[in-house]
Amino acid sequence: MTAGWERRRVLVTGAGGFIGSHLVERLVALGAPTRAFVEYDSRGSWGWLDDSPVKDAVEVHAGDVRDRDSVHTAMRGIDVVFHLAALIAIPYSYAAPNSYVQTNVEGTLNVLLAAREAGVGRVVHTSTSEVYGTARRVPIDEEHPLQAQSPYAASKIGADKLAEAFAASYDLAVVTLRPFNTYGPRQSMRAVIPTIITQCLAGDVVRLGNLHPTRDLNFVSDTVEGFVLAAVAARAPGQVINVGSGRETSIGELATLIAKTVGREIRIETDPQRLRPAASEVERLLADNRRALDLLGWRPQVTLEDGLAMTVDWVREHLTTYRVGTYAV
């Protein structure tokens, strides 16, 4: 699916993050002239793009989505915007909710305003399955009620509603992609899968929070392909589209599966630091991905077992230099 990408000038916000860096690499492989918007760092770091093989093939714009002028400058001459920049750590959102409003809500507003002013052809906005809260019904389709069970989720609902409003009010071609639980190489150590893998590699005790919540786990290359398809699908503008595997796995089952992949027998202990406030815990997530198939022709290609094996291999290789990023999705 390379036809036409060499004529689409693209901007990726959050390009130095987990999903963003994989997306940048995919776009470069497709031949798209790519501008990477990365969080300004006085040390000159581009996040995960620092070590990327495509680093010299992209134009880097360092800035902050909270800064209107920075975003407007980055948007000039762009045809397609992939907006991934966000604060994502749920536990920190309890301590600093205003930071999440500034980055996730006001930052998204800056992106939408700049895209409208620049005459951008399409904006692919990144949502999250966290906006659904604990499932009232499964599988979760896009019409499921939105329930903010953390300040992070509330900020993402606000951002999603801005995207919806701009699509309706200004005839801006906005697609809201709603990934479920993406995992794979480069994911922050704060996330559950890297946490389990590193503990399994270190010993036979794995300390986790609640083992009962279920998640729909999607390998990063599948999530990235959802973004690519959302940028070109004719019927996608104005739509919210789930990207998830359609498979439900509990945290306890996940730990057992990862231990098997690593080749270790483990004992699971409760870590109070990893427990969410009771009312804030999202107990169940399972995607209905039929709209993604219908509108995008998207379906997951990587099984959980294969994806975990690739992720374990990557963590093993990078264990001593594993970095933790804040601006990622």
Residue 168: is it exposed, middle or buried by C-beta count within 10 angstroms (0-12/13-18/19+)? exposed
Q: How far apart are the first and last CA of the chain?
A: 24
With beta carbons less than 8 A apart as the criterion, state whether 276 and 127 touch: no
- What DSSP designation does 263 have? T
- Identify whether 325 is part of a domain: no
Look-up of token digits 């009962």: 212
* CA distance readout (Å), 125 to 67, 161, 211, 217, 315: 18, 11, 31, 20, 29
- Residue 175 sits at φ, ψ, to 5 deg, of -115, 130
Query: What's the domain count of the chain?
Result: 1
The pLDDT of residue 3: 62
Range of the domain at 150: 7-184+218-245+287-301
| Residue 86 contacts residue 126 (beta carbons within 8 Å) | yes
Determine the distance from the C-alpha atom of residue 200 to the mean position of all C-alpha atoms in its chain, rounded to a whole number.
25
Secondary-structure percent of the chain, ordered helix, strand, coil, rounded to 5: 45, 15, 40
329 is a domain residue: no
Give bridge partners of residue 207 from the DSSP assignment. Answer: 269
For residue 42, being part of any structural domain is answered with: yes
**45 burial via Cβ count (<10 Å: 0-12, 13-18, 19+):** middle
Could you tell me the sign of the dihedral formed by the alpha carbons of 140, 145, 150, 152, in that order? positive
- 46's CB contacts (< 8 A; 6+ apart) are 15, 16, 36, 38, 55, 60, 62
Question: Could you give the 3-state DSSP secondary structure of residue 202?
Answer: helix
Amino acid type, 146: L
- Residue 36 located in a structural domain: yes
Is 46 contained in some domain?
A: yes
126-132-133-138 Cα dihedral, nearest 10 degrees = -130
Contacts of 140 (CB under 8 A, 6+ apart): 129, 132, 242, 285, 286, 287, 288
User: Within a domain: residue 267?
Assistant: no
Per-residue pLDDT of the chain (329 residues; tens, 9 = 90+): 556 999 999 999 999 999 999 999 999 999 999 999 999 888 888 999 998 999 999 999 999 999 999 999 999 999 999 999 999 988 899 999 999 999 999 999 999 999 999 999 999 999 999 999 999 999 999 999 999 999 999 999 999 999 999 999 998 999 999 999 999 999 988 899 999 999 999 999 999 988 999 999 999 999 999 999 999 999 999 999 999 999 999 999 999 999 999 999 999 998 887 777 777 788 999 999 999 999 999 999 999 999 999 999 999 998 877 644 433 33
Catalytic-labelled residue, pool 100, 132, 152, 183: 152
Phi, psi of 59 (to 5 degrees): -95, 125
Residue 183 among the catalytic residues: no
Q: Name the H helices within 76-219.
A: 90-95, 97-100, 107-118, 151-169, 192-202
Q: Is residue 53 part of a domain?
A: yes
Residue 24, domain member (yes or no): yes
Residue 43: give its domain's CATH number.
Answer: 3.40.50.720
